[in-house]
Structure formats: structure tokens, C-alpha cells
């Protein structure tokens, strides 16, 4: 049976309390470069070679000895012969990226030259190393290139590949067990409209897909009825996961057993949060496994997921904080909020105008389908007026 929520924890405090008990995963695995984007490096990457590993022409043109070009200009060009190795008084044709002959120390751009017979006219004076990519200019052997904890991007794969690296050691993706609960919840496989009083399972699917998007591996579990012993069994059989997210059964009703069961197996850190929607969210830990108890109301669940499960999952996964995409917009209507609650108001953002959605019920999932952003209203602010400029966080 549910406990009565006596006092609400502020959303920011709840997040801190929860984040503080979470330990990042230490298990690692090797992966090929082609799979690296979005993964987090678990080992330092030090260059084992110089890049470039030879003196490389940075331009198309002629490799020369810079001293042979002293005084050269458009009105007073220098004439050089052509050779393979650019010995004194001659130049060697090079292309961008070519190896520069040992005896040359500069490259004159093709635009500043004209071949005349078997000579080349040079119309500019060069200093040594002009248009020369020196050995190790990009990366030097022994240089630290990436630190542990770096979130890999496609451009980093190119950097790693240029060092001759074919695979990297990254942190394993955390396995997140997603457990939908509720006597009223039936599997999505039902092709018929379920009987009155029954609803299709949708929260688990949503949570699992966000888990995958945020860098975890979702383990989709069966629906658990509102029976404490069955909830306990479901949790126990997923304590090998790196995180558990339960959907539903977090409120104060007779059928809301989830926080109590989590508390009996471990510790409930927070139950009842100044978050709207999302007040019945509970956060706990069992052994080393963080547990998020999401309200069953889909919009409340979604807000709880964004506010708590996402940062928690990132911490478990060693993923550094990723800023939200925020668009500055003007409200074209009023949005209300309850004092004392961090309020996620759904808006439709179009051409930098934020249109508030009228249906604000926590159960109205379609409001999320229609919305593309949240305006997050602090606890001490009572909504925003029409015409006010606000930050809209895009719903990813």
C-alpha cells in the first residue's frame, strides 16, 4: 500500500540527492572505430606516431630552397630549373599532401609560378617552411590526444584512424531494466481495443527508446500487476542490471506499491517531488543499482524521465553532460504554473513563437505528440505572460 507523500522535495535537490549515490560503470569493451560515435573512451589515447609522418606539401606547386627565392617578386621573378629532389637552383613539382624532397624547405604555390621551357618562373619570396606541413605538426608521437571520458564523435573517429588505430576501449553501455507495472496495463500485442478499464502498455516502450537514445541498453520486461510480491520478484530478477526504471504505481493509492517495495529492498531517497507534472516520482537505490519510479501518467512519466532518469543514466554510462537544445522564443499566450513546483509546460514552437498547449493533463499523451518543446518554469515563478521571452527546450 502506498505511503502518503508528506513533503515535496525540490526538483533540483531531488536530482542532486539521486546523482550523488550513483556510481559510473567501470566495465569496458573494445569496439571498432565504425561503432565509436556516441561511445565514451575508457582509455587515454596517446599518439604512437607523428602525423604527418613526413614533410608534406600544404599546397600544389614547387618545392624549393627558400634561399633560392630571395628577392623574387612579380616584377623581378627568379628562374629555377626542374629536378626530382629540388637541389640548389632547382625546384620539384609537388601536389598537396606530397612528400617534400629532403633538400627543399618551402613550397611555392602554383599560382605564383609559370613554367617557361624547362625552367619555372617563381614570382614570390618564401621563408623556410612556407607551405610545408612539418612532421608531427598535426599530432606528435607521445602526445595525449583524448582523455578518458571523452564522448566520441565521427570527427574523432577520423583522428583515431589517422593514428592507425582500428579499435578503441570504451565503457560498456549500461543495461537498464524497464518494468511497466499496473493491473490495468495490457501488452501492446493485443490487436483489439482492450476492455474498459484496461490500457495498452506504452510507457515501457517510451522509456526503453529513450534509454537507447541516451546511450543505454534497454531490457524490456513483462508487465507486472499491482502486487507487492510480484513487483519485488520483478525487481529482484533485474538487480543484475545497471539501472532499473519502473513505470506506474508510484502514487498514494491502494494499488501503489512500487516505492514501498523499492524501499524494502534498498532505500527510497526521494518520494514526492515539486515537479509538475511528475510529482509522484520516486528515486531510490538498491545496492548499487539506481531505481527510478516513474509515475504511470505518461506525461508525468516523461517529465520525470527527462528530469531524473536522463542525468542518472548519463552518470552511470560515464557520458558527460550534454546541453539541451534551447531556442529563445516569445510566448503567444499565457502559461500558468503552481508555485513550489518546477513546471514543464508543453508548447508548440514555430518561427520563434511558443504556443502554449491548452490540454495540460498529465494523462494526455497527445499533448506531447503536439508539443515540440517544454518551457520550464522555476518554482518561484507563477507562469509566463503573453509576449514574454522564454527558453524553449526541444523535446528530443
Between residue 99 and residue 158, which ones bind a second copy under the rule CB under 8 A?
Answer: 99, 110-111, 133, 137-139, 145-146, 153-158
User: In this chain, which stretch among 14-22, 47-55, 68-76, 227-235 interacts with a second copy, using CB under 8 A?
Assistant: 47-55
For residue 21, state whether it binds a second copy (rule: CB under 8 A). no
Number of residues located near a second copy, criterion CB under 8 A: 83
Nearer to a second copy, 60 or 232 (CB): 60
- What is the smallest separation between the CB atom of 326 and a second copy, expressed in angstroms? 8
- What is the smallest separation between the CB atom of 393 and a second copy, expressed in angstroms? 11
Q: What are the backbone dihedrals phi and psi of residue 380, each rounded to the nearest 5 degrees, phi first? A: -95, 10
- The residues in 282-301 that bind a second copy, with binding defined as CB under 8 A, are 296-298
CA-closest candidate to residue 377, choices 352, 396, 360: 360
For residue 227, state whether it binds a second copy (rule: CB under 8 A). no
In contact, 339 and 270? CB cutoff 8 Å: no
Radius of gyration of the chain (CA): 31
Residues near 302 by beta carbon (within 8 Å), at least 6 away in sequence: 206, 368
Count of beta carbons in the 10 Å neighbourhood of residue 336: 12
- What is the smallest separation between the CB atom of 174 and a second copy, expressed in angstroms? 17
CA-closest candidate to residue 306, choices 339, 328, 332, 273: 273
Nearer to a second copy, 32 or 89 (CB): 32
Count of beta carbons in the 10 Å neighbourhood of residue 248: 29
Among 364, 376, 377, 393, binds a second copy (CB under 8 A): 364
Site string for a second copy, 305-344 (x = CB under 8 A): ------------------xxx-x-----------------
How far apart, in Å, are the Cα atoms of 365 and each of 102, 294, 306?
Answer: 70, 15, 15
For residue 161, state whether it binds a second copy (rule: CB under 8 A). yes
- What is the smallest separation between the CB atom of 200 and a second copy, expressed in angstroms? 6
CA-closest candidate to residue 179, choices 253, 252, 265, 254: 265
In contact, 260 and 271? CB cutoff 8 Å: no
Nearer to a second copy, 71 or 193 (CB): 193
For residue 384, state whether it binds a second copy (rule: CB under 8 A). no
Among 8, 9, 22, 52, binds a second copy (CB under 8 A): 52
- What is the smallest separation between the CB atom of 70 and a second copy, expressed in angstroms? 25
Among 81, 115, 142, 361, binds a second copy (CB under 8 A): 361
DSSP string, 315-334: HHTTPPP-PPPEEEEEESS-
Distance CA 351, CA 245 (A): 36
For residue 302, state whether it binds a second copy (rule: CB under 8 A). yes
Nearer to a second copy, 70 or 158 (CB): 158
Q: What are the backbone dihedrals phi and psi of residue 370, each rounded to the nearest 5 degrees, phi first? A: -80, -30
CA-closest candidate to residue 152, choices 137, 133, 169, 129: 169
- What is the smallest separation between the CB atom of 158 and a second copy, expressed in angstroms? 4
- The residues in 165-224 that bind a second copy, with binding defined as CB under 8 A, are 166, 182-184, 188-191, 193-194, 196-197, 199-203, 205-206, 208-210, 212-213
How far apart, in Å, are the Cα atoms of 269 and each of 111, 177, 233, 293?
Answer: 70, 19, 21, 11
Distance CA 132, CA 146 (A): 26
- The residues in 231-290 that bind a second copy, with binding defined as CB under 8 A, are 251-256
For residue 97, state whether it binds a second copy (rule: CB under 8 A). yes
What H or E segment, with its residue span, contains residue 107?
Answer: strand 106-109
Nearer to a second copy, 279 or 285 (CB): 279
Distance CA 152, CA 131 (A): 31
Among 33, 82, 186, 348, binds a second copy (CB under 8 A): 33
- What is the smallest separation between the CB atom of 287 and a second copy, expressed in angstroms? 28
Amino acid at each position: 500500500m502506498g505511503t502518503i507523500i508528506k513533503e515535496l522535495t525540490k526538483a533540483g535537490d531531488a536530482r542532486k540527492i539521486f546523482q550523488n549515490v550513483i556510481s559510473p560503470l567501470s566495465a569496458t569493451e573494445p569496439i571498432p572505430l565504425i561503432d565509436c560515435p556516441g561511445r565514451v573512451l575508457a582509455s587515454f589515447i596517446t599518439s604512437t606516431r607523428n602525423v604527418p609522418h613526413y614533410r608534406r606539401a600544404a599546397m600544389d606547386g614547387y618545392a624549393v630552397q627558400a634561399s633560392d627565392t630571395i628577392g623574387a617578386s612579380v616584377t623581378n621573378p627568379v628562374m629555377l630549373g626542374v629536378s626530382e629532389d629540388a637541389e640548389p637552383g632547382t625546384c620539384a613539382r609537388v601536389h598537396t599532401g606530397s612528400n617534400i624532397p629532403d633538400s627543399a624547405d618551402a613550397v611555392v604555390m602554383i599560382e605564383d609560378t609559370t613554367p617557361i621551357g624547362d625552367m619555372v618562373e617563381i614570382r614570390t619570396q618564401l621563408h623556410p617552411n612556407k607551405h610545408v606541413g612539418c612532421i608531427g605538426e598535426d599530432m606528435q608521437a607521445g602526445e595525449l590526444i583524448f582523455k578518458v571520458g571523452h564522448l566520441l564523435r565521427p570527427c574523432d573517429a577520423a583522428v583515431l584512424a589517422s593514428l592507425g588505430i582500428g579499435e578503441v576501449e570504451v565503457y560498456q553501455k549500461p543495461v537498464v531494466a524497464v518494468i511497466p507495472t499496473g493491473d490495468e496495463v495490457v501488452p501492446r500485442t493485443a490487436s483489439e481495443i482492450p476492455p474498459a478499464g484496461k490500457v495498452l502498455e506504452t510507457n515501457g516502450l517510451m522509456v526503453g527508446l529513450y534509454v537507447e537514445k541516451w546511450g543505454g541498453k534497454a531490457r524490456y520486461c513483462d508487465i507486472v500487476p499491482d502486487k507487492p510480491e510480484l513487483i519485488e520478484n520483478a525487481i529482484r530478477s533485474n538487480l543484475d542490471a545497471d539501472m532499473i526504471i519502473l513505470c506506474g504505481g508510484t502514487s498514494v493509492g491502494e494499488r501503489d506499491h512500487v516505492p514501498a517495495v523499492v524501499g524494502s529492498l534498498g532505500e527510497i531517497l526521494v518520494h514526492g517531488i515539486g515537479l509538475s507534472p511528475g510529482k509522484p516520482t520516486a528515486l531510490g537505490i538498491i545496492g548499487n543499482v539506481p531505481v527510478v519510479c516513474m509515475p504511470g501518467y505518461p506525461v508525468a512519466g516523461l517529465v520525470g524521465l527527462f528530469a531524473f532518469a536522463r542525468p542518472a543514466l548519463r552518470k552511470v554510462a560515464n557520458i558527460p553532460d550534454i546541453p539541451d537544445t534551447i531556442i529563445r522564443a516569445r510566448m503567444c499566450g499565457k502559461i500558468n504554473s503552481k508555485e513550489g513546483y518546477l513546471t514543464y509546460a508543453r508548447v508548440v514552437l514555430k518561427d520563434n513563437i511558443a504556443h502554449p498547449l491548452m490540454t495540460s493533463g498529465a494523462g494526455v499523451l497527445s499533448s506531447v505528440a503536439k508539443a515540440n518543446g517544454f518551457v520550464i518554469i522555476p518554482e518561484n515563478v507563477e507562469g509566463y505572460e503573453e509576449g514574454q521571452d522564454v527558453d524553449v527546450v526541444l523535446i528530443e
